[in-house]
Amino acid sequence: MTDIVEYVPLVRELHERAAKLKQPVNGVFELTSLCNLRCGMCYVRQSGGDKAPGVRKELSASQWLEIAGQARENGLIFLLLTGGEVLLRNDFFEIYEPLTRMGFMITVFTNGALITDSIADRLARCPPSRVEISLYGATSATCEKITGVPGSFAACRAGIENLLARRIPLVLKSTLSRFNVAELEAMRQMAHGWGVPFYASWLLSRRPDKQGSEVEDYRLSAEECVELEATDRASANELREAALSEKVPDSDSNFYCKAGRAAFIVNPYGDLNVCSLLPEPAARPLEIGFHNAWMEVVKYVDSAPAPSPECLGCRDRVFCGRCPAWSLMESGTLSGPVPYWCEIARARKKRYGRPADPSPIE
């Protein structure tokens, strides 16, 4: 009657099941947009701080717990706490500790630099299922060139070691840019040395709030992205299979992930949105109730327009990872082509072979 099953396939199966039922099983609470680091490619951080003109007031601890309670009643299980830097909130544990008694599988994203002995002790008393820490380099020079904060490399390392000393489940990751890609292997070795899993990502998006971003200075070229993903066997196999299948995706649906069907995000100001990169429909769970706000998100996704005819007819579509969020950030509509993704799709086709046929345009 109790089954121990492989975790990743189980989580995938639960998300599939939830998506069919429109159960919001996966939620992100973006607790703050403030950060102690100043990474130029970040899509969240408010550079002016919380006192800057025009910056909205972030939710209080009790408001977060109110949303969490209602979300649980609606089926939330997998909860990610992220920022900004969550540990910048003085009331972080007033939010976190009650959440750990509510029946969620909690993941915490942090840059690690604020994880002192006392913070690690407190986390260890009611640990999350996983902490994920971002590495920005394998050396202080590279890391701090990106973070803009002297001492952040050593602080991050100390934070990692504080968690490991308390057996708190940890995953390390890196956001790669042209400034740190040369240290990818060294970062992987750092993680290996600590005995923790490591993964890297490199698709840098613009800021969804349309504020200025230096992302163009940080992005890798399409060819570099494809070269990187080819080193990952699972990604390479998937793309090779796609190249051989000669089939375009079955669905013309614009949204193809779990966002708006099983997943949502609440931003620091209490707006319930589709995902971190798509700050719409900005439903207000504290005003209309979580269930009604979630239904607004579901309706938003269900009524989204199809991809543009240009995308539907594209011969490289099978290699493309464009989604409505990227379209909105880069083209201003939910459907338009994203030039960066067009380049990546072309580079993938060149690497993996035969192009797929376009689907007929209805």
Partner 1 sequence: MKRKDELMLQKVGGQALLIPLGAKVLDMNGMVVLNTTGSFIWELLAEERSFEELVSAVVERFAVEADRAGDDVRTFLDDLIRQGWIAL
* Binding test (CB under 8 A) with partner 1, winner from 55, 61, 88, 102: 102
* Binding test (CB under 8 A) with partner 1, winner from 12, 17, 299, 354: 17
Listing DSSP states for 324-349 in one string gives: HHHHHHHHSSSSS--HHHHHHHHHHH
115 binds partner 1, rule: CB under 8 A:
no
167 binds partner 1, rule: CB under 8 A:
yes
Is residue 170 left, alpha or beta, with left meaning phi > 0 and alpha meaning psi from -120 to 50? beta
What residues form DSSP beta bridges with 79?
A: 27, 106
Distance (Å, whole) CA 277 – CA 322: 12
Part of the chain binding partner 1 (CB under 8 A), chosen from 17-25, 185-193, 288-296, 330-338: 17-25
Angle at 120 between CA 117 and CA 125, to 5 degrees: 130
247 binds partner 1, rule: CB under 8 A:
no
2 binds partner 1, rule: CB under 8 A:
yes
CB 262 within 8 A of CB 15: yes
164 binds partner 1, rule: CB under 8 A:
no
Part of the chain binding partner 1 (CB under 8 A), chosen from 109-117, 165-173, 316-324, 349-357: 165-173
25 binds partner 1, rule: CB under 8 A:
yes
203 binds partner 1, rule: CB under 8 A:
no
Please report how close the Cβ of residue 277 comes to partner 1 at its closest, in angstroms. Answer: 25
Angle at 270 between CA 146 and CA 133, to 5 degrees: 30
234 binds partner 1, rule: CB under 8 A:
no
169 binds partner 1, rule: CB under 8 A:
yes
* Binding test (CB under 8 A) with partner 1, winner from 12, 38, 56, 125: 125
119 binds partner 1, rule: CB under 8 A:
no
Pairing status of strand 78-82 against strand 26-30: parallel
Distance (Å, whole) CA 8 – CA 263: 17
* Binding test (CB under 8 A) with partner 1, winner from 83, 84, 112, 128: 128
What residues between 67 and 86 interact with partner 1 by CB under 8 A?
Answer: 75, 77
- Which are the contacts of 66, defined by CB distance < 8 A and separation ≥ 6? 286
Please report how close the Cβ of residue 64 comes to partner 1 at its closest, in angstroms. Answer: 18
Cβ distance to partner 1 smaller for residue 20 or 354: 20
Residue type, 109: F
What are the CA-CA distances from residue 16 to residues 89, 211, 248, 257, 346 (Å)?
34, 35, 21, 10, 30
Cβ distance to partner 1 smaller for residue 11 or 114: 11
Distance (Å, whole) CA 329 – CA 161: 37
- Residues of this chain that bind partner 1 (CB under 8 A): 1-5, 7, 10, 14, 17-18, 20-21, 23, 25, 75, 77, 100-105, 124-129, 167-169
